[in-house]
A and B are shown apart, each in its own frame.
Chain A
Amino acid sequence: MRRYLTLLGIQLRASTAIGMQYRFDFLLEGLMTGFWMLVTLTPLFVVFGARHQIAGWSYPEALVVVGWFTLLKGLLEGAINPSLLAVIDHVRKGTLDFVLIKPADAQFLVSTAKFDPWRAFDGLAALGIVTYAFAKLGRWPAPPAVLEALALLAAAALVLYSIWILVVSAAFFAVRIDNLSYLFSSVFDAARWPISVFSGALRFAFTFVFPLALMTSFPAMALLGRLGGGTLLGALTGAVIFAGVARAAWLRAMAHYTSASS
């Protein structure tokens, strides 16, 4: 366990060092974060310009969801996407062999290979949005609510990561699927809206199959003090099951892997 923590530290340092080399990107990423925040908020402005409440969510409450969405997007693009996109490349080129012969768990190595430190901007933007939303609501979340939301954040990160591992595992079977990452982010985009906006099949899919509800709506509801204990427990259990399935799929994919180069 300690060995893996040390390894994680080394990988993080390497990524930060690489990030520091592109200082101009720092400015660019900051500007892009602000720009995307505006793009994300535009439909919200228009919709709440016409209505005070949509599907039971007021404007500041919906902003809390957007805040969580921004945070998770930063997490996804800063800590999950870069590494796992590299795996797909490894599989195609056959260079995954070099990872596999290293004396550590391959899933751990490929998952921590690359971080994008500049995405921390998204975290700041998210904090700003959520703070603004609560200031507008005129009340602050209770400490237990914050703890619940943080537990859900961990669960959401686990689920996002697990889905990505499933996608990567698919890359071992069908090689040319680099654009799956685009599909993934395009579906993830729907998470900026509270789950109760969707109805019927979409709502079912976004709650149980591709659990966007768990990622943004549930944490927001927890912060607002509207989430029941049962939902919380269900969400946490679901996340753990997701992770187990992803691990099993990864091991299967590994067993299936026959280097592309030889």
Chain B
Amino acid sequence: MTEAAASPQSALSRALRAYPTLLRVGFADTVAYRVEFLIWILTTNMPLVMLALMRAVARDGPVGRFGPSAFTAYYLAALLVRLLTGCWVGYELNMDIRSGTLAARLLRPLHPLFAYSAENLAALPLRGLITLPLVGVMLWFARGGLTADPLRVAVFAVSVGGAWLITFLIQACIGALGLHTESSISVAELYFGLFSVFSGYLIPLELFPGWVRRITQVLPFRFQLGFPVETLLGHLSRAEALRELGTQAAWCAGLFALLTVIWRTGVRRYQAYGG
């Protein structure tokens, strides 16, 4: 670590050189524990339950702009984004801190957060394999509810990447809080509750009263799910979509700075438990 801190340039290039290998290792790990991986994916069933519920609600007339087929498009898109951006680094980091295995990671000549990001990204190909049939079904059943504008589809693709990054950064921040306090798991729970309400994961944000929507505009959660989904469904105009993309990038930068602070101050205090 000290050497890396002394010459950041070489540390970065070394990390980049190691990245493909890390991705391969992570992928092999995912394939090895495929049953566990499948269970994780099945855990993401909330949008389907909400879809069943909202379709029952919309049976006798649309809610706002959402009729039964619009709800189908919304929740399938939400499921897609959630599956592509899901990330569990918070729990992993917390476990590693508590069990002391973070010490081993700190010894490696590579920043632990870099390694975590590789492990999480490496799960994407297998996840994509599972989500691709879903995309097919979605496009078929909800083709009327999706935007056909190539610009907005492109914004959607980029914003899913941004959504993953925000999710990773927030989770890493929460995990790294474990270096400062023992209640970081409660913070993770709090985060998940806020995320499910304010991201549009449970209910489309449009259906909330105005004052709740104003709250969501100053929180990062919407950029983890609601923004990509709304873009794909064509609820945002071109200008709005591009502007929100900028806001999403700003959130990424801000959260990255926050993570750096939490991590640096935390590692200084860290004394491997049981080590």
- Tell me the complex Cα distance, A190–B193, Å: 15
Per the 8 Å Cβ criterion, residues 174-199 of B in contact with A are: 183, 186, 189-190, 193, 196-197
> When A35-B190, A36-B193, A39-B193 are in contact, do A179 and B39 touch as well, CB less than 8 Å?
yes
Q: In the complex, what residues of B have CB within 8 A of residue A174's CB?
A: 35
> When A47-B53, A179-B40 are in contact, do A32 and B186 touch as well, CB less than 8 Å?
yes
Check if A262 is an interface residue, CB within 8 A of chain B: no
**Which residue on chain A has the smallest CB distance to residue B60?**
A51
Interface residues of B, dominant DSSP: helix
Q: In the complex, what residues of B have CB within 8 A of residue A35's CB?
A: 190, 193
Q: In the complex, what residues of A have CB within 8 A of residue B39's CB?
A: 177, 179-180, 182-183
Interface residues of A, dominant DSSP: helix
Give the interface size class of chain B: 20 to 34
**Which residue on chain A has the smallest CB distance to residue B40?**
A179
Check if A193 is an interface residue, CB within 8 A of chain B: yes
Per the 8 Å Cβ criterion, residues 9-51 of A in contact with B are: 24, 28, 32, 35-36, 39, 42-43, 46-47, 49-51
Q: In the complex, what residues of A have CB within 8 A of residue B57's CB?
A: 47, 50-51, 54
Check if B240 is an interface residue, CB within 8 A of chain A: no
Check if A176 is an interface residue, CB within 8 A of chain B: yes
- Tell me the complex Cα distance, A130–B40, Å: 33
Q: In the complex, what residues of A have CB within 8 A of residue B43's CB?
A: 179, 182-183, 186
Q: In the complex, what residues of B have CB within 8 A of residue A50's CB?
A: 57, 63-64, 207
Check if B239 is an interface residue, CB within 8 A of chain A: no
- Tell me the complex Cα distance, A32–B186, Å: 8
Q: Residues 47-90 of chain A: 1 if any B CB is under 8 Å from the residue's CB, otherwise 0?
A: 10111001100000000000000000000000000000000000
Of A24, A51, A183, the contact of B42 (CB 8 Å cutoff): A183
Check if A187 is an interface residue, CB within 8 A of chain B: yes
Q: Is the CB of B53 within 8 A of A43?
A: yes
Per the 8 Å Cβ criterion, residues 162-216 of A in contact with B are: 174, 176-177, 179-180, 182-183, 186-187, 189-190, 193, 197-199, 202
> When A43-B50, A43-B203, A189-B46 are in contact, do A199 and B56 touch as well, CB less than 8 Å?
yes
Q: In the complex, what residues of B have CB within 8 A of residue A187's CB?
A: 45
Of A36, A182, A199, the contact of B52 (CB 8 Å cutoff): A199
Q: In the complex, what residues of B have CB within 8 A of residue A179's CB?
A: 36, 39-40, 43
Q: Is the CB of B53 within 8 A of A189?
A: no
Distance to closest chain A CB from B104 (angstroms): 19
**Which residue on chain B has the smallest CB distance to residue A54?**
B57
Q: Is the CB of B49 within 8 A of A190?
A: yes
Q: Residues 124-137 of chain A: 1 if any B CB is under 8 Å from the residue's CB, otherwise 0?
A: 00000000000000
Q: Is the CB of B56 within 8 A of A176?
A: no
**Which residue on chain B has the smallest CB distance to residue A184?**
B43
Check if B202 is an interface residue, CB within 8 A of chain A: yes
Q: Is the CB of B203 within 8 A of A42?
A: yes
Q: In the complex, what residues of B have CB within 8 A of residue A32's CB?
A: 186, 189-190
- Tell me the complex Cα distance, A198–B40, Å: 23
Distance to closest chain B CB from A49 (angstroms): 8
Distance to closest chain A CB from B48 (angstroms): 8
Q: Is the CB of A202 within 8 A of B46?
A: no
- Tell me the complex Cα distance, A164–B35, Å: 18
Q: Is the CB of A43 within 8 A of B202?
A: yes
Q: Residues 125-138 of chain B: 1 if any A CB is under 8 Å from the residue's CB, otherwise 0?
A: 00000000000000
- Tell me the complex Cα distance, A46–B36, Å: 35
Q: Which residue numbers of A lie inside 8 Å of B, CB to CB?
A: 24, 28, 32, 35-36, 39, 42-43, 46-47, 49-51, 54-55, 174, 176-177, 179-180, 182-183, 186-187, 189-190, 193, 197-199, 202
Return 26 A-B CB contacts under 8 Å, by A number.
Answer: A28-B183, A35-B193, A42-B197, A43-B53, A46-B208, A50-B57, A50-B64, A50-B207, A55-B56, A176-B33, A176-B35, A177-B35, A179-B36, A180-B39, A182-B40, A182-B43, A186-B42, A186-B43, A186-B44, A187-B45, A189-B49, A193-B53, A197-B52, A197-B53, A197-B56, A198-B52
Given contacts A55-B56, A183-B42, 20 further A-B contacts (CB under 8 A): A28-B183, A36-B193, A39-B197, A42-B202, A43-B50, A46-B203, A46-B207, A49-B209, A51-B63, A54-B56, A180-B39, A182-B39, A182-B40, A186-B46, A189-B46, A190-B49, A193-B49, A197-B53, A197-B56, A198-B56
